Amino acid sequence: MENVTLSDGSAFHAYQRERIRHWDDVAMRSVHVQRLGVHYHGLIREIYRNLVPPGQRIIELGCGRGDLLAALRPAYGVGIDFSREMVRQAREKHPDLHFIEADCHRIDVGETFDYVILSDLVNDLWDVQAVFQEIHRIVTPRSRIVINTYSRLWEAPLLLARKLGLGRPTLFQNWLTVEDIRGLLNLTDLEMIRHVEEILWPLPTPLLDRLLNRFAAKLWPFRWFDLTHFIVARPVIRDLGPDPAELKVSVVVPARNEAGNVEQILRRIPEMGSGTEIIFVEGGSRDETYQVIEAGIQRHPERRCRLFRQTGTGKGDAVRLGFSRAEGEVLMILDADLTVPPEDLPRFFDVLFSGKGEFVNGVRLVYPMEKEAMRLLNLAGNKFFSLAFTWLLGQPIKDTLCGTKVLWKADYERIAANRSYFGDFDPFGDFDLLFGAVRLNLKICEVPVRYRDRTYGTTNIHRWRHGWLLLKMVAFATRRIKFT
């Protein structure tokens, strides 16, 4: 990437000198007189802990005293700030972290990080575009950039609070909208993948601040008036490195009472990458599904197939077993009912390899369905859960329950390692993967498919019992994602 040249160099240096003096002065003041700021930054740290998993390599630009960086419990943490006094205090306060006195308009640390944090920094920068461009020096295609910035609606209230001595003094600020930031990210080959609003009440008010910030701030129409925007972005991926022809693909097929579909599965799943292995996981069928799969594998020695008998219950358990035995770099799920055509799987592979998405989800609600493919109540339920999970996850999700999902094995292993955050309670497996992908800030991309009617057997989904379970899962996820 080419560097962005800073316009009007003399004005830039005067601007920076003034701000360095200002922040040195702020650093030397007692934090105890800044009650509003102390409470606000405590709220910011709580929100960041929900966005950034612990144990990451993290760099914070404009780190101040390093309190936010320390709160994220990095495996390796670096803070950069141009205020000598801020850096001095940060080194004393957090000796296990690394702090550098430097200007964020020129980042030269010689290493890359999993997360780049810009907390209330874009408001104070001379050239936001130049800083975004510099970020490419310290990221990989898998890195995430997390930005928080004030809403323009709060410009006047914050100015009043500072005049009353309730907030930390600042110099003239950039008041950028979310769309302004999105545009600057796009100009510098970064893309926004999540956006959430937070903090409705920044004042330390017993009971009231918790009620407003934990609940009301997440709900319409109150969230329109939130103080802070949080944006998660990533580098635009141009080249993932390996040739797609060198990647092995594992297709996991959970199968229960699907004996009549086995032969079509073996015939129709296409070869992808350097080769495709088919992993059948049979789970307590009442028909002869297990025996039919065994016989089918014998009839098709040209296919790389393995068969496992499920010891637990539920599709989610079957998928986890299949993924744990998979050898491919790319993992896919294909429902054995063949309501999603196996011939569509290369589309998912192409989206994943292109970098357009890191978690590729099928969506059945775009094209017209065959007559019996989905009953009216099921369709209504899917649309409801689509709206609920779009709000929950901060990314558009049109179809949460499509069985076809594709992701990198390396990302699945990270999801599995963080599974305890949400718990192992999802019998379907769809939400376990979706929640995990959002927890890791993966880019979710949906691929429309034509949903077909079953030609054999009956659905294993019970509308009312499973619908009630899904509602409980939404409530649980709401507490863990939104109301923490």
Q: What is the mean pLDDT of residues 206-233?
A: 88
Q: Judge whether residue 387 has pLDDT over 80.
A: no
Q: How is residue 224 written in tokens?
A: 């329109």
Do residues 229 and 279 both lie within one domain?
no
Examine the pLDDT at 112 and tell me if it is beyond 70. Answer: yes
pLDDT score, position 325: 96
Q: What is the pLDDT of residue 246?
A: 86
Chosen domain end from 235, 268, 298: 235
Residue 33 confidence (pLDDT): 47
Residues 311-333: tens digit of each pLDDT: 888 888 999 999 999 999 999 99
Same domain, 231 and 365: no
Give the pLDDT mean for 455-482.
62
* Same-domain pairing of 194 and 257: no
Q: Do residues 228 and 365 share a domain?
A: no
- Same domain assignment for residues 354 and 272: yes
pLDDT of amino acid 139: 96
Q: Is residue 277 part of a domain?
A: yes
- Cα separation, 61 vs 135, whole angstroms: 10
Domain boundary among 235, 269, 288: 235
Name which residue leads in pLDDT, 325 or 481: 325
Same domain, yes or no: 310 and 190: no
* pLDDT above 50: residue 2: no
Residue 334 located in a structural domain: yes
Same domain, 260 and 212: no
Q: Kindly indicate the confidence band of residue 128, based on its pLDDT and cuts at 50, 70 and 90.
A: very high
* Domain match, 255 and 230 both: no
Containing structural domain, residue 469: 244-482
> Is residue 91 in some structural domain?
yes
Residue 370, number of CB atoms within 10 A of its CB = 12
Question: Which stretches of 52-143 are DSSP H helices?
Answer: 67-71, 84-93, 128-134
What was the pLDDT predicted at 388? 72
Task: Please compute the mean of the pLDDT values over residues 374-389 and round it to a whole number.
Answer: 64
Provide the CATH number for the domain around residue 119.
3.40.50.150
Same domain, 154 and 197: yes
**Count of structural domains within the chain:** 2
Closest to 28 in 3D by CA, of 79, 76, 86, 74: 86
Please indicate, yes or no, whether residues 305 and 382 belong to a single structural domain of this protein.
yes
pLDDT exceeds 90 at position 403: no
In a domain, residue 3? The reply is no
Report pTM: 0.83
Question: What is the rounded distance in angstroms from the CA atom of residue 218 to the CA atom of residue 198?
Answer: 7
Sheet holding 57-61, edge to edge: 98-101, 76-81, 57-61, 113-119, 139-150, 228-235, 190-198
Tell me whether residue 304 is in a domain: yes
Residue 181 lies in a domain: yes
From CA 14, how far away is CA 7, in angstroms rounded? 13
What integer pLDDT is reported at residue 237 of this predicted model? 79
Residues 58 and 168 in one domain: yes
CATH number at residue 275: 3.90.550.10
Torsion angles phi and psi, residue 29, rounded to 5: -80, 155
Report yes or no on 429 lying in a domain.
yes
Mean pLDDT of 167-184: 84
Domain boundary among 235, 259, 275: 235
CA distance 215 to 218: 6
Which helix (H) or strand (E) segment is 249 a member of? Answer: strand 248-255
H helix intervals, 188-314: 208-214, 262-268, 289-299
The reply to whether 148 and 38 lie within a common domain is yes
Q: What's the average model confidence in pLDDT over 392-401?
A: 71
Please say if the pLDDT value at position 127 is more than 50.
yes
Residue 157 in tokens: 């209230």
* pLDDT over threshold 80, residue 164: no
**pLDDT-derived band at 342, boundaries 50, 70, 90:** very high
Over residues 182-193, the pLDDT tens digits come to: 999 999 999 999
Give the pairing of strands 228-235 and 139-150: antiparallel
**445 burial type by CB count under 10 A (0-12 exposed, 13-18 middle, 19+ buried):** buried
Q: Is residue 136 part of a domain?
A: yes
Cβ partners under 8 Å of residue 294, min gap 6: 307
